Chains A and B, each alone.
Chain A
Amino acid sequence: MFSKLRLTLASLAGAAVIAAPAGAQLKVVTSTTDLYDIAKAVGGNRITATHIGEGYQDPHFIEAKPSFVLQLRNADVWAFVGLDLEIGWMPVLLDGARNQRIKQGAPGYVDVSRAIPLLDVPSGNVDRSQGDVHPLGNPHYWLDPENGRRIARLFKDKFTELDPAAAAVYAANERNFEARLNNTERTWTDELAKIRGQPVVAWHTSWRYFAEYTKMNIVGFMEPKPGVPPSPSHLAGLIQTMRRTGAKVIVMEPFYDQKTADFVASRTGAKVLILPPSVGGVKGVGDYISVMDYDIKQLAAAL
């Protein structure tokens, strides 16, 4: 009896997947604005795209609002950062959406992290005494333009797989995206030279990939451990570290409490630099290339 039930369910599920629209614009939903912007750049007018999180919002703590379920229930593609960045809300939304096209294992379920070489993958045993660690690796990889290219290529491949008729469009759009990024990247030569090796403090480990690219030297974090708010004793130690290393900039996202950073800055003479980690993180930074451009130029100017 159970096997019959399974057979029936399998048939029905298969029918549901096959019933996905063909030839229409792909409906793409992404977890972050960065993935959204790159998807739009690659998909062009062959896709419609929406995103769940905003660029000025901590992506760890997005709320699983039921209205997001409505976005996901009709999606053909669900693209997300992965590495447990969305663990606090994504399972609820995917369960609620009941969309076979974007369930784990379906073609529309796109874990972007699988295309990325990762940083901070723990090599030993991890537990929560180490803070809110990401046991699969650091998920803030989009803050390296090389990974931006990887994301674009991944989207090109995925959209082509789901919409092969527009393969040439996706390929051309992806090349165009890379060309624009390359052109902008060439303007950073002086800034990158200025940033290289400079000691800075970051609030969270979200700037690790950015540091790998720019070669800025993160000498400490405002958080004593990932996800743990700064404690007075930690800040005291951090102030000593900053004085010793000569760190002159505290890099932080717009969604953290600036008062604490201002306090540390006042004790060290450093400057608090609020950088958008994502598209829309501050006004006027409306696409992925602009985010990288803004962050690199702002940081170089502050050093």
Chain B
Amino acid sequence: MRFMSALCAMAIIGTGLGAQVPTTVRDSVARAKAKADSIAAADSIAIVRELERMQGAKPDTTRGPVTGPQGSTNPRLLPDFSAVGDFVADLSPQGSTQADSSRIGVREVELAVQAAVDPYFRGDVFLGISDLEGISIEQAFLTTTALPNEFELKIGRFLMPIGKQNTTHRHDLHTVEYPYIIQRFFAPDGYKGTGFWLSRVIAPLGFFQEIQVTAVNRLADRDRSLQTGDPVNRKLSGLGYSARLRNYWDLNESTNLEVSGTALTGIREEPIAAPVGPVNALNARQNTFGADLTFRWRPLQQGLYKSFILQAELMRQSTQAVSATVPGPICRQLCAGSPIPPTTVASSGSHYTGGYAFARYQITTRGFLGGRYDQLQDPLFGGSTTRAASVELEFFPSEFSKMTAAYERYIPPAGIERINRILLQATFALGPHKPHPF
């Protein structure tokens, strides 16, 4: 049967060649040949070679993935759709420690739509759906693909390049939750900014370096319970600005080291002791500086079975002390025109330092044992020290699903109850194969 198909194709092509038919006809013959089962073609390699020789056709190798020589696998130009489910069960003996107090919950379902927009841009949209927050735009950005001089620009909302772990989706972390410095200094589900991200790879010293700078709408998410006289970003100096320098070295073929530094500045609302009318916060500049280190070991030949990661981050976040005179008009509105003089108010400023160290060792083909230690001057407790130590056991049935069991000893400042947390997590991914995180 296979031989007959190939013979027919040869006969058709032979006829076509003999009649000096136009190229388009030869192309259609080539397509007809290509529709034949490629296994059959491989069974008759000599015939395939002969066919190609007769056609004089050279394959176009510059297009994207195809199923053999048939052509595009996406003729309707549909974008990639994918979904990630993230389930968390909180079995902590002293009660649930989840934001919504659930014992077993769908922490988030993330839907992603990704595709090239045109020859100049790629588009990525990630929507987060959760019982707690409803539907939210996790990330949505346009990425240039054709800027000269190796620049890349993102426009939209993205996970900010602040430290190492903040750029990783929460469900892709090796731990159930972000480190506490990210949760307490920025947001429990990572710091996202809306604006511009410009980056460029450089290598003036012979090793990989990348500079990433951003300008975003504001510093951190807005706390809607805080009201200032002016929006934090009324002036352009009030936007959030960040810069990050990544440095990467291969120590040998199995080990590598990444050391990076981050700086972030912007203005955010700082509460004042006594509200004046509706004003209960002042605009204060906040600066954050951080450094992170990641060491990886993965022997190439045994890379399926052995690997180790050691990672640490340190951050210091400083908020200026500010004072301001709250003008009379605010009071006149509230006091029905009574002449109350302007009031001077102040926020005290703060300096918080924190960090974590994380290690993860591969114990089997699909199993990993990890641990993390966090310590920080906790903004939640006025700068008193919070510590946490956790161990995580990860199991990957495949590249597309993950089960995690975690125990954490959470030690807040003195006088606050210490907690044992037991968390189970299951995540799965549907859709196209995504690049492996590195």
Contacts and interface: CB of A to CB of B under 8 A. Distances in A.
B73 interface: yes
A265 interface: no
B38 A104 contact: no
Q: Which of B62, B203, B304 has the most CB of A within 10 A?
A: B62
A65 B250 CA distance: 8
A92 B398 contact: no
B300 A114 contact: no
A119 B38 contact: yes
B316 interface: no
A118 B66 CA distance: 11
A136 B68 CA distance: 7
A87 B73 CA distance: 15
A302 interface: no
Q: Which of B64, B67, B146 has the most CB of A within 10 A?
A: B146
Interface stretch (B148-156, B346-354, B384-392): B148-156
A13 interface: yes
Contacts of A97: 150, 201
A115 B45 contact: no
A114 B147 contact: no
A19 to B, nearest CB: 8
Interface in A57-115: 57-58, 61, 63-67, 69-70, 73, 82-84, 87-92, 95-100, 103-107, 109-115
B50 interface: no
Interface string B370-401: 00000000000000000000000000001110
A131 B400 CA distance: 10
A199 B214 CA distance: 60
A100 B144 CA distance: 12
Contact of A115 (B41, B59, B144): B59
B304 A56 contact: no
Given A9-B146, A117-B38, A66 B248 contact: yes
A263 interface: no
B65 A84 contact: yes
Interface stretch (B102-110, B222-230, B237-245, B430-438): B430-438
A164 B425 CA distance: 57
Nearest to A83: B65
Given A109-B62, A137-B38, A256-B304, A228 B248 contact: no
B61 A114 contact: yes
Interface in B139-187: 144-152
B11 interface: no
A139 to B, nearest CB: 10
Nearest to A254: B301
Contacts of B100: none
A270 interface: no
B68 A89 contact: no
A69 B208 CA distance: 8
B38 A118 contact: yes
Contact of A121 (B38, B65, B152, B296): B38
A13 B67 contact: no
A64 B438 contact: yes
B258 to A, nearest CB: 8
B297 to A, nearest CB: 11
Contact of B301 (A56, A92, A154): A56
A123 B35 CA distance: 12
B68 A257 contact: no
Given A57-B301, A104-B64, A114-B66, A88 B120 contact: no
Interface of A: 6, 9-10, 12-13, 15-16, 54, 56-58, 61, 63-67, 69-70, 73, 82-84, 87-92, 95-100, 103-107, 109-121, 123, 128, 131-132, 135-137, 144, 146, 154, 157-158, 209, 212, 227-229, 254-257
Given A64-B436, A136-B68, A257-B365, 12 more contacts: A12-B148, A13-B146, A61-B436, A65-B438, A66-B246, A98-B152, A114-B59, A118-B38, A118-B39, A136-B73, A137-B68, A157-B58
For the complex of A and B, list the 4 residue pairs with the smallest distance between their C-beta atoms, beginning with the closest: A13-B146, A117-B41, A66-B208, A118-B38
